[in-house]
Amino acid sequence: MRNKFFYIFVFLFSVGFSACRHDDDPIPEPIDGYKRTLFVYMPWASNLYSAFEQNLSDLMTAINTTGLDNQRVIIFLANSNKTATLQEVVLYNGFYSRKNIKDYTFTMADYTTEKGLTSILSDVIATAPADEFSMIIGCHGMGWLPVTRSVQMAPTRWFGGASSLYQTEISTLHRALSNVNIKLEYVLFDDCYMANAEVAYELKDVTNYLIASTCEIMNYGMPYHKMGKYLLGKPDYQNICASFFTFYSSYSYPYGTISVTSTSQLPALAQAMKQLNDTYTFDTSYLDSIQDLDGFSPTMFFDFGSYVEYLTVTNPDAAGTCLYRLGLAVPYKSNTPQYYSQFIKEGTDINTYSGLSISDPSVHTDTNKKSETSWWLATH
């Protein structure tokens, strides 16, 4: 769920919280000269906490296999709706482990504000300054939809909690990153439905790449024990997608979609989309023909490329420029033959997959505010 303008539930813990340190476990003095810092952000979600711990265990497996070359890894993990820790991955007796460096205590449920997220990001930068930052966000997710939505989901992920108290909009993440004056190399959403045009366009100025899923992600999340070595150091986006596909192809629930979006290509894609919208009007009789990427009724997230083809169905040649730009914007992607939806409790065929979803043709009442997103304003 996101909010007007390009919204996403990014459960960020903020204003109304205080931080305290153990006297015997202070934040280490910053060390200059590191090339990269990876920030893993895992806000509160009671039904995902055990999955988060598994994710971190898998990530530690990858780190102990590949090592950290001129890189630091900082972790924010909420262990209740009122407490969280900031941790650093450190080398001890030849093995990497997680060390608590700061404790947070929340005094009110205002965790989703710009001020709070800015404060957390500032702590990360002060603790682990680097030339380049990347961010992993693990939680539930609902793409760009407004924070006022409340959906019960399991066993998959969406960005935020069932209660709006624990949800953050994508625009808040954008502002917080802007406040600390960093542009991420990548942001990876280990959450459902985050690989969509509305989310990517909102974040285009604060990250170079967006790694996410167009559909639901199973409770297990990203397979960091397989994928981690490609996220560390200089990212290998092709193998990030390949390792995800390999894992989920043989998983007990063999469903998964992933894509890498190059945000620098999004303005040109938006321009091409606007040219189509200025010329063509979607014929709603084709609504059920577009590739759907969710189990909602009516559909909220459609495959971008499939929508473009049906928007221009009367003149197929007109879609060429937009589809070309879409291909440049999504250089890497992968998908299993089907995606899973907990609403229909089964797999649905993926006949076409462009790596980004779009809500433009949706008639679902929960997408009524799509015209307030920056993507819509740039393309209509």
The structural domains of the chain, ordered by start, are: 17-264 (3.40.50.11970), 267-329+343-379 (no CATH)
Q: What is the pLDDT of residues 279-319, one digit of tens each?
A: 999 999 999 999 999 999 999 999 999 999 999 999 999 99
- pLDDT score of 164: 59
Tokens of 124: 């990360």
pLDDT at 48: 85
Residue 8 confidence (pLDDT): 39
pLDDT exceeding 70 applies to what percent of the chain?
84
Q: What is the mean pLDDT of residues 23-36?
A: 57
Lowest mean pLDDT segment, chosen from 22-36, 168-182, 279-293, 311-325:
22-36
User: What's the first-to-final CA gap in the chain, in angstroms?
Assistant: 22
Which pLDDT score is estimated for 44?
77
With cut-offs at 50, 70 and 90, classify the pLDDT of residue 189. very high
In the predicted model, is pLDDT for residue 196 greater than 70? yes
Residue 12 predicted with pLDDT over 50 = no
pLDDT at 4: 31
Please report which confidence band the pLDDT of residue 19 belongs to, taking 50, 70 and 90 as the band edges: very low
Q: Which residue has the higher pLDDT, 264 or 346?
A: 264
Q: How confident is the model at residue 34 (pLDDT cuts 50, 70, 90)?
A: confident
pLDDT at residue 379 above 80? Answer: yes
84 and 76 Cβ atoms separated by less than 8 Å: yes
- CB proximity list for 110: less than 8 A, separation 6 or greater: 14, 15, 16, 116
pLDDT average, residue stretch 90-111: 84
Cα–Cα distance, 36 to 231 (Å, whole number): 11
Longest distance between any two alpha carbons in the chain, whole Å: 70
pLDDT > 80? residue 3: no
pLDDT over threshold 90, residue 102? yes
pLDDT band at 168 (very low <50, low <70, confident <90, very high): confident
| Residue 147, pLDDT score | 65
pLDDT(21) > 70: no
Q: Is 295 helix (H, G, I), strand (E, B) or coil?
A: coil
Residues 6+ apart with CB under 8 A from 156: 192, 216, 217, 218, 219, 340, 342
The pLDDT, as a whole number, for residue 344 is 86
Query: Across all residues in the chain, what is the average pLDDT?
Result: 87
Residue 103, amino acid: D
For the chain, percent of residues with pLDDT exceeding 90: 72
Is 33's pLDDT higher than 80? no
CA–CA separation, 87 and 64 (whole Å): 16
The mean per-residue pLDDT over the stretch 133-149 comes to 82
- If pLDDT is split at 50, 70 and 90, which confidence band does 165 have? low
Work out the average pLDDT over 108-129.
83
- In this model, does residue 174 exceed pLDDT 70? yes
